Structure 1
Amino acid sequence: MEKKPKKKKFEVMDDESLSDCLQRMDSEGYMPVRRTEEPVFIERKGAKEPELYGRKTVFEGKLK
């Protein structure tokens, strides 16, 4: 039997909703304990600073 890690991060994919990600966590045996949103930047040629492109949502799951 494979031993699962006590904590695992789950990123919400582009093609799924928050509830889909939470269902995926539940099916793997994890419950959400933290939600974070991280900015995503892109660099364009000729620009002085990176440009905000969007954000990604990441859940931290704890083994049930």
Structure 2
Amino acid sequence: MALHDYVEAASTAVFIASTVINVFFIYIVHTKTKQDIGNYKYVMICFAIGNIAYSLAEFISKPAF
């Protein structure tokens, strides 16, 4: 197996892990945070969505090789 294949497999694994973790983070922030956090809750959700978008862009572009 060539190095390119390992990098492609790692890229796929990182994309899947990133998406799952960030979706779980959004769920936790949306359902388990207290009301007194206020707008910071939405900042954290936007940050997680940005992370998913960045991970998707990296996965689509495959910049490693």
> Which TM-score applies when normalising by structure 2?
0.22
Relative to total residues, which structure has the larger strand share, 1 or 2?
Answer: 1
> Which TM-score applies when normalising by structure 1?
0.22
